[in-house]
Structure 1
């Protein structure tokens, strides 16, 4: 099996586009997180998977927090920016950001935000799984941006 075939097959499943954010001495960081899931409701826990080379990982580990920002409908350009290549300042210039329970950057227009304390990390192969205890949530109830087959669609 090739990596291309793997990613095409993973991309066949539509998922909510999320931006995973944190802030520390170096400033805010964030990346596009397409591997986000809940773990448990008691205690409220979520996970995000990131490539080991994701530039935001050292900041998330140092800050010991992260926020999962579910992108609202119409945020395909923001998804592309956080998907890589753009400087962090350019990524964060694309939206209005505040802070939430942990201090992690929270997108003011996000369809939903899960603000988390980093509980543990699990490293396997080329990925790091971030497991976070949810300390705050909020929703806007509007549409979302979905990632599907290499592009973005609104729901």
Structure 2
């Protein structure tokens, strides 16, 4: 069986919906961040997630030099932030939008995010064109009333708010 062409693979992957996130490192004084949809849970013991970052990204070096990353899950009202962090703006310009604080690691945390996963990087594995960063969660913040934002078929889609089921 032949491997699919790159364009066919990308077209098929566009049909895999994903949450839209801003991933950060550094500090509030020297922040670095980018937009990512390639984020997923690895295990809950210890709570670990992974983030994929293109090796050509200008943010890559900061993640390799630092020990922290924070995944900020965007709300349906924050599509502009996704585009802002995916643009060629400087890091200073990127972080001029939104309200930023810090939790356990010191990495920038978006106050208005649906959820924020403040992590210590445990390892980085280079795979093809990307760095796969594994983060062990040190602190969490959630906003239960926010509506989610997903990227599917190369477009943004708002998710309706649904309350968490009661135990």
Whether 1:88 and 2:91 are equivalent positions in the alignment is: yes
Counterpart in the other structure of 1:6: 9
- In our comparison, the structure showing a higher alpha carbon Rg is 2
Q: Which of residues 135, 149, 154 in structure 2 aligns to 1:150? A: 154
TM-score for the superposition, normalised by structure 1: 0.93
Q: Which of residues 12, 18, 22 in structure 2 aligns to 1:19? A: 22
What is the alpha-carbon distance in structure 2 between the residues aligned to residue 98 and residue 32 of structure 1? 18
Offset at 1:84?
Answer: 3.4
- 3-state SS of the aligned residue for 1:75? helix
**CA-to-aligned-CA distance 1:30-81 (integer Å, 9 cap, x gap):** 1111110111111111100111111112111222110000001111111111
Counterpart in the other structure of 1:79: 82
Shift in CA distance, 8/105, structure 1 to aligned 2, threshold 3 Å: same
- 3-state SS of the aligned residue for 1:32? strand
Structure 2 portions without partners, runs of 5+: 160-167
What is the alpha-carbon distance in structure 2 between the residues aligned to residue 138 and residue 61 of structure 1? 24
Structure 1 portions without partners, runs of 5+: none
What RMSD in Å do the two structures reach over aligned CA positions?
Answer: 1.6
Task: Give 4+ residue runs of structure 1 displaced > 4 Å after superposition.
Answer: none
Structure with more strand by fraction: 1
TM-score for the superposition, normalised by structure 2: 0.87
Whether 1:109 and 2:118 are equivalent positions in the alignment is: no
How many residues are matched? 155
